[in-house]
Amino acid sequence: MERRHLSYFVAAVEAGSISEAARRLHLSQPSVSQAIQELERELRTPLVVRGRKLTLTPAGRALLGPARRTLRAFDGARAAVEGVGLLMTGQLDLAVVPALAVDPAVRLVTEFRRRYPGVRVRVREAANGVEGFASLRRAEAELLFHDHPAPYPKHRAVPVVLGELMTVFPPGTLLPEGPIGLPELVRHSVVMGAAAESAVGTWITVELAALQLPPLTIAVDTAHRDAVVPLVLAGAGATVLPEPVARAAELLGAVVRPIGFSVPRQAHLYHRIGELSPTARALVDLVEELDIIK
């Protein structure tokens, strides 16, 4: 089994077809197809079902995670030999749940890129809750920003300090001066851009019930987080956002106030216990060194 066998196999899975993988790899389609066939012969089992869209057999699904980890190990070994361990080049594979996509991911990735401009950072969205850890299990990402406790013992959690949240209202909204508490917030319809099972959404629901306040009136519940600010600016409702996004919305006319309640937010940078690639180790070191850039 050669490195190219695993590399072409993973490329075909991620591209969804052998022809698209060949295009991305700048190879001929027969070359990629033959390499996968050689891998199947060596393992004595079919790995993919060929068709308009390539699908994995059970054996192929079992191989995918170990194949990705093996390729990263190859890259780490090459880095040690070629000096890429200095992070002049390389790739960082990172997964982030939606609620942490701006804070802390943007700030950390920005600082990481400032220090290591030659490294390509590839960020994928992870699901909320326990399902989000599948990105580590399947080796789709080497690191994961998540606000949920790790469900498996083979994970290391590096605490991450989060920035402030702010309330954001449509232009022209009349509000009392000072921070906005939950009793004031429930008087307004809201635009929900985080899934209901996110840590912040869950806490607000529980806290409203404890205070015997009515639940939030959700005007729009969108999975497209980049639509939240335009919806608020258009008058659809209020929302709660990380401070950098709230301040950007304020420049566009939104009315912004500090939150008048303390949300017990937490986040961790997770990775599987074991050897990390040089790029992943650099991000972990950055989090531990800076305790998140404020």
The single-letter DSSP state of residue 99 is G
CATH 3.40.190.10 domain position(s) in the chain: 83-161+266-294, 165-258
Nearest to 125 by CA among 145, 107, 152: 145
What local confidence, expressed as pLDDT, does residue 214 receive? Answer: 94
The tokens for 274 are 């074991």
Q: What is the mean pLDDT of the chain?
A: 88
Q: What is the mean pLDDT of residues 175-188?
A: 93
What local confidence, expressed as pLDDT, does residue 152 receive? Answer: 81
Structure confidence at residue 172 as a pLDDT band (50, 70, 90): very high
Whether pTM > 0.75 for this model: the answer is no
CATH 1.10.10.10 domain position(s) in the chain: 1-67
CA distance 140 to 14: 10
Q: What is the mean pLDDT of residues 50-72?
A: 89
**Is the pLDDT score of 79 beyond 50?**
yes
Q: What is the mean pLDDT of residues 71-79?
A: 77
Domain 83-161+266-294 part of CATH 3.10.310.30:
no
255 to 35, 170, 193, 228: CA distances (angstroms): 58, 6, 18, 14
What percent of the chain has pLDDT above 90? 61
CA distance 219 to 234: 12
**Is the pLDDT score of 208 beyond 60?**
yes
Structure confidence at residue 235 as a pLDDT band (50, 70, 90): very high
What local confidence, expressed as pLDDT, does residue 162 receive? Answer: 86
Look at 292 and 219; give whichever has higher pLDDT.
Answer: 219
CATH hierarchy code of domain 165-258: 3.40.190.10
What percent of the chain has pLDDT above 70? 94
CA distance 29 to 182: 59
Nearest to 260 by CA among 183, 193, 201, 202: 183
**Is the pLDDT score of 43 beyond 60?**
yes
Alpha helix (H) ranges present in 83-154?
Answer: 105-115, 134-137
* Sequence-distant (≥ 6) Cβ neighbours of residue 187 within 8 angstroms: none
* CB-count burial class (<10 Å; 0-12, 13-18, 19+) for 68: buried
CATH hierarchy code of domain 1-67: 1.10.10.10
Q: What is the mean pLDDT of residues 12-33?
A: 91
Q: Which of 66-75, 121-130, 259-268 has the highest mean pLDDT?
A: 121-130
What local confidence, expressed as pLDDT, does residue 81 receive? Answer: 60
Nearest to 195 by CA among 176, 168, 218, 178: 218
